[in-house]
Structure formats: C-alpha cells, structure tokens
Structure 1
Amino acid sequence: MTEISDWLLFEMRDRQFAVEAQVVKEILWLLPLTPTTMGGTGFFATFPLRGEIVPVFDPFFYWGTKPSPYESSYQLLLLNSGTAIPIAKVSEVISWENPKRKSDSDSSGVWEERVWKNKVVTLLDVDHFHPGGRKNFDLTEDGSEEEDGDPEPEKSWDEFFIKGEERSKLAWFEETYGQIEDDEVSELEFRAISYSDSVTPVDHGGLEPISIVKVADESYGISLDSVLEFSDPSHLTPVPGMSPVLKGCMNLRGEVLPVLGLDEILGNQIKRPFGFGKVVIIKSETSQFGLLVDELVDVVYKKEDEKRTPPLGTKDYGGVLESSYRHGDGFINLLSIPTILKKIKQELS
C-alpha cells in the first residue's frame, strides 16, 4: 500500500526543496550566528535558542558549491534532530507519496526529484545530514529500512571534527552570514531576545561557552557571556597620537567604541597591517569595547567544574589570565575581562 505523508516545500537559492513535515520542529527567522569549526562537512555555525546551542548546516556547503550571501529575511528550518538549515522562504505544505528510500550512505542526501507547479522539487533525506554521514540501511521485502550490521554509536555535531576543514568553514561563514549589514544584524539580535524571552531558558548543565581567539600563534579563550558580537576591522578609524594599545575607534550602531589590541595587552611587539584580523566586541557591566585579534578559531563548551588555574610556567601578563580549561592535548587560558578593562583605563588615562 502506498504511504502518503505531508511534505514541507521551501526555497533555497532559487531552487525548490522538500522535507517530510514531521521532521520539522519549528521555523524561525534568521538569528545571529556564531562561526564554529566543529561538526562534520556542511556544519559551519551555531546559535543559542532557549538555553540550547543549535548547530547550523547548509546543504550547499555540504555539496561543495560556492557560497552566496544570506539575507535578514531568511528563515531557519529547525529539525527534530536539533540541526537548523538556512532557507530563503517556506512555500507550502502538500501531501505526497513517500519516496523509495535510498540505502547508500555515500549519496548526496537527495531521495529524488519531482515536478510541482512546473517547478522541479528536490526531496531531501535529512537523516543523511548528520556529522558522521548517514548509516547504511538495507531495504526489506516490504520496502522498509533495516540497519545493516551492528549499529555504531552516532556522534553528535560537537563530537565530530574533520581536520583540515577549519578554514573552509570560517570562509563559508564570512561569505554567507558575514555579509549582512550592521543595521540588519541589530534586527536579528532583537529577534534573538524575543525568542530567548518566550520561554524559560534551559539549564546548560554546567557548561560554559567559550570563544577561542588566536594572537601571535597563541590561542586564548573569552567567555561567550562577555561577547556581544564579532566585527570586521575595516570599520576601524585610527586615532593618531594615542597609546599603541588603542588600535582605533569604530561606530557600532551609533555608539563609538574604542578597539584595543590584544597583542599589545599581552606584551607582544608584532606589527600588522591596518585592517588585519577580527574585532571581538566585549560587553561589561559599565562599558563596551572591541578587542582586535588575529583570528576567530572556534566556540567550544567546557564543564565549569573542570576550570582550574593556569598551568605552572604560564606567563602572567599582569593578571589578565583568570583561569584555564584542558583543550585538546593542552590548555586554553581564559582572559579576565575586568582585569583587561582596568589595565586599559590605566594605560589610556
């Protein structure tokens, strides 16, 4: 007997796609995204939603096509798996005959194509799009799926890491989400506030989100609770005659913020061309300012009860390193924002 189910039709890059409606948990407007190098192919960003961190997956990135800029009018298709897909818009929901499911785990994640209202619609197998790739399935006599062999533990997006894809992930983020204008970003931030206020946030289970930045080939951590957003140094205006630690000022939605060089704060004397690096906008109880770093590396989540003092032998930098987490084969040292702010005020007074 032919099975019929509801399918959600939506548009991406002027092409029509469809997924089973039952796999869609929610449809959101585009929210502020944070780059990540974690997850398998196609995963490139995350965003917080009601106490949870949602990984963002772009099928076109997975398929190896060239990136194209997102717009503030885009939506996020939040799936039951906990993954979100950026889409241009939802078209409609229709009832369709279920396709014959593929058992090839190396496929592109496409079941088949159909024609609807004179347009070709590509049916996506969203189970295929998880960090480790779709599991192998055999088809039984009645057409249902049966897992081939003993099941292996499925890795989540933050447990799976493909070495060598870090730059492509960050480049995809910059060329898609990073092209959104500042005034549109403020609109996205307003949406994020309304979503976070809609329900009581869920406990993170003792995990602290940390943004990892790189300066002079050394990596440091900044608590994401202290980060307002990331920006481009092209918006910087130099201030002649000031301390070398002040790299310039930038206008952030009508507010002029000082931008400080993390290199100089850490005592480095490396000269870099103007416009090099990235700016991390820091928020504190009393003020906001920017930190100029060489590179944004990742956002990771660490168990707060595993926080410790920096390892013996770590250079002190005047107390700007407040604590440390084990990360990979070594440690990631967290910057003390209050100490940095105090040092900056003394330096510029």
Structure 2
Amino acid sequence: MGEELKVIVFGLAHEEYGIEVDKVRTIERLSPITRVPKTPSFIKGVINLRGIVVPVIDLRGRFGLGETEPTENSRIIVVAAGELEVGFIVDAANDVIDIDTDTIDSPPEIVGGIKAKYLRGIARLGDSRLLIMLNLSEVLNKNEIIQLEQLEV
C-alpha cells in the first residue's frame, strides 16, 4: 500500500476532481469579484479575502469546458501557488477523503476534454468512481502566475 493522500473533492462539469488538502488555504462561498481589464477571459478578477487581494480563475474557462452561471453550490477554492494565493471557481466542493497513492494512475492524453498536462493522474476509488487529480503547477503556469502577481493592487 502506498501513502495516504488527503484530498478535497470538487465538482466541475459533471466530473469529480481532487486537489491535495495541503495546497488548499480555504474554501469560500462565491463573493463579489472585481473585474480586472486586459486579462484572459478565465481570469475573473480579484476578491478581497480577509484583507488579502486574491486573483480568481474560473476552472471551467481555464479548461475550455464552457462557463456556466454560478449556482448556490459554487465555491471558490483558494490554493497556494508558491507565494501567491489564487482562487478557483468550481461547481461544488464536495468533501475531503483519503486516497492511497497506489490507486493514482498516469492520466490519459485527454480526460473530460482536459489535456493531460493539467492532470497529475486519475485516482481509482472503488469499482466505478474515478477522481481526476489536478497538477497545480500546470493549471497555473509560470506566465499566468506572473500575470496574476501583477493583479495585486
């Protein structure tokens, strides 16, 4: 048996994704987002989170899954990307689970329309449940991190 990995499970376009708990700072309800001009369309703007300006990215838009209107279940998952905190808009944040690292397979080329470079792997949970593990360093590539750092006002 491999190591246990604690992950937060969240929903996006009818799929379940996972992100390591130790990368997550907080999960918030959707709050008003201040638009920032001249940014890619998936960068929704910034929020003020307890006195810290946090850039917000719509993960549906980032992955080209087609953006939808937020619902009562929509959440912002704030993650640490180096020194920077970034919020991801997701359809729902479901729960926290432990997964065995031995159950994580390399990702196929495309999963649910998302390129493999954004994925760390696919975790098998039981017989029929799959959890798509995000590769945060690719979701936020270096150029985007630089762009997001410049958003801080």
Which of 102, 107, 111 is the equivalent residue of 1:305? 102
SS in 1 for 2:36: coil
Match of 2:86 in 1: 289
Match of 1:280 in 2: 77
CA separation in 1, counterparts of 2:142 and 2:15? 21
Match of 1:317 in 2: 115
The structural deviation recorded for 1:266 is 1.1
Quickly say closer, same or farther: Cα 1:265–1:210, change in 2 above 3 A: same
Quickly say closer, same or farther: Cα 1:340–1:311, change in 2 above 3 A: closer
SS in 2 for 1:319: helix
The structural deviation recorded for 1:326 is 0.4
Q: Does the Cα contact within 8 Å between 1:247 and 1:260 map onto a contact in 2? A: yes
The structural deviation recorded for 1:316 is 4.4
Structure 2: give runs of 5+ residues left out of the alignment.
149-153
Match of 2:132 in 1: 333
Structure 1: give runs of 5+ residues left out of the alignment.
1-204
Q: Deviations over 1:20-55 (max 9, x none)?
A: xxxxxxxxxxxxxxxxxxxxxxxxxxxxxxxxxxxx
Quickly say closer, same or farther: Cα 1:283–1:312, change in 2 above 3 A: closer
CA separation in 1, counterparts of 2:143 and 2:33? 18
Q: TM-score, normalised by structure 2?
A: 0.80
Q: TM-score, normalised by structure 1?
A: 0.38
Quickly say closer, same or farther: Cα 1:274–1:237, change in 2 above 3 A: farther
SS in 2 for 1:264: helix
Match of 2:151 in 1: none
The structural deviation recorded for 1:276 is 7.1
Which structure has more relative contact order (CA 8 Å, sep 6+)? It is 2
Q: Does the Cα contact within 8 Å between 1:234 and 1:275 map onto a contact in 2? A: no
Quickly say closer, same or farther: Cα 1:318–1:311, change in 2 above 3 A: closer
Quickly say closer, same or farther: Cα 1:267–1:257, change in 2 above 3 A: same
The structural deviation recorded for 1:235 is 4.0
Match of 1:192 in 2: none
Quickly say closer, same or farther: Cα 1:343–1:276, change in 2 above 3 A: farther
Quickly say closer, same or farther: Cα 1:234–1:346, change in 2 above 3 A: closer
The structural deviation recorded for 1:296 is 0.8
Q: Say which structure is richer in strand.
A: 2
TM-align CA RMSD: 2.7
**Which amino acid is 1:326 matched to?**
R
Match of 1:223 in 2: 20
SS in 1 for 2:31: helix
SS in 2 for 1:243: coil
SS in 2 for 1:310: coil
Q: Deviations over 1:226-259 (max 9, x none)?
A: 1011012124223345321111211122221100
**Which amino acid is 2:50 matched to?**
R
Q: Does the Cα contact within 8 Å between 1:321 and 1:334 map onto a contact in 2? A: yes
**Which amino acid is 1:265 matched to?**
R
The structural deviation recorded for 1:306 is 2.4
Quickly say closer, same or farther: Cα 1:224–1:305, change in 2 above 3 A: same
1:244 paired with 2:52, answer no
Structure 1 outlier segments of 4+, above 6 Å: none
Q: Does the Cα contact within 8 Å between 1:236 and 1:275 map onto a contact in 2? A: no
Quickly say closer, same or farther: Cα 1:318–1:302, change in 2 above 3 A: closer
